[in-house]
Amino acid sequence: MHLLALSGSLRADSTNTALLRAAGELAPADASFMLYTDIAALPAFNPDHDTQPAHAAVARFRAALQSADGVLIASPEYAHGVPGALKNALDWVVASGELVDKPVALLHASPRGQFVRAALAEILLTMSARLIDDATLTVPLLGRTTDEMATLLAKPDTRTTLRSVLQCFADGISATPKPDFGSEHRNPVKSPPIKPD
């Protein structure tokens, strides 16, 4: 099983990135883990530029998502929404479909991120990703120094909870049939049902 982690923050001392790094240390023994650190290299999304061959950074991002059995996302909240770099990355895979039926878990480094949680859930469900609700976790790292974050993430109860959430995510992945992803699989976002007059 291969897990891919995406941080919505580009900051070097990001609390969300720290949380994902801690998750990588506690992933199930039969799972590999990769923290994707290259979303800043993605160009601004423009449908006119979504062509083949894809931009090199776009191709790398899509390949990383496609090879993952599940995706962990941890993101700060900016202006009650999703940070631009993360939203731009997601925009690049709306039409190509790498997140269709892909199990996704949302982790949070602040209890004050209710708006970004709701926004991410809406975006991901629209993209036909499969959110594993039981694998959602908030660890209060906001406002802490790097040393304070490390101390909290090293506490036995924190590690036990994080390990349990990751195992729950792995179980959810195992229960999810792997999608048949073909090169012809484009425009996967489902149209909303037509309401009768």
Q: Across the chain, what does the average pLDDT equal?
A: 88
**Of 3, 42, 34, 15, whose CA–CA distance to 165 is shortest?**
3
Model confidence at 127: pLDDT above 60: yes
Alpha helices in the chain (DSSP H): 15-25, 56-67, 84-91, 114-126, 146-154, 156-174
Residue 90 has pLDDT above 80, yes or no: yes
pLDDT tens-digit readout, 33-51: 999 999 999 999 999 999 9
Q: Half-sphere exposure of 76 toward its Cβ, with a 13 Å CA cutoff?
A: 17
pLDDT at 17 over 90: yes
